[in-house]
Amino acid sequence: MEDFNKHAPCLDKSCSFCCNPVKINQRAIRYGFESPIDKDGNKIWEETGEVFAPEDRIDTDRVVTFDCINYDKDTGKCLGYENRPEICRNTTCIKDEEGNIDEQQRKATEVNFIKLK
């Protein structure tokens, strides 16, 4: 069984990089990605219509952005953290839990994006 509670420094470091806005690779969208839903069946991510690319991979990667209805812009925290969907539980910028977590988080959040649309 997969562990859907991967370690991420979001709470420890008050980091909301991955959900402000939510960034999903455009390829996933083309292959049928569906926005996660809440317990009532309502989508919790709303597509913004924006497309970005990382500065260092502008020719190869594109991300589509979403606003999460559970993201509190004032506090930078998830209002539904305990009940967040599997995609959020299974996401982390930490690739090597034995490595330098601070360095991995810094490297992931230093990515600069260019708005394409």
Dist. CA 97–CA 91, nearest whole Å: 13
Burial of 65 (0-12, 13-18, 19+ CB in 10 A): buried
Q: Is 7 exposed, middle or buried (0-12, 13-18, 19+ CB in 10 A)?
A: exposed
Residue 43 has pLDDT above 80, yes or no: yes
Residues 6 or more apart in contact with residue 46 via CB below 8 angstroms: 35, 66, 67, 69
Q: How far apart are CA 19 and CA 6, in angstroms?
A: 16
Do 108 and 17 touch, CB atoms closer than 8 A?
yes
What pLDDT sits at residue 80?
A: 84
Question: Is the per-residue pLDDT at 13 higher than 80?
Answer: no
Q: What is the pLDDT of residue 59?
A: 79
pLDDT in tens, 58-94: 777 888 999 999 999 998 888 888 888 888 887 777 7
pLDDT score recorded for residue 6: 66
pLDDT at 116 over 60: yes
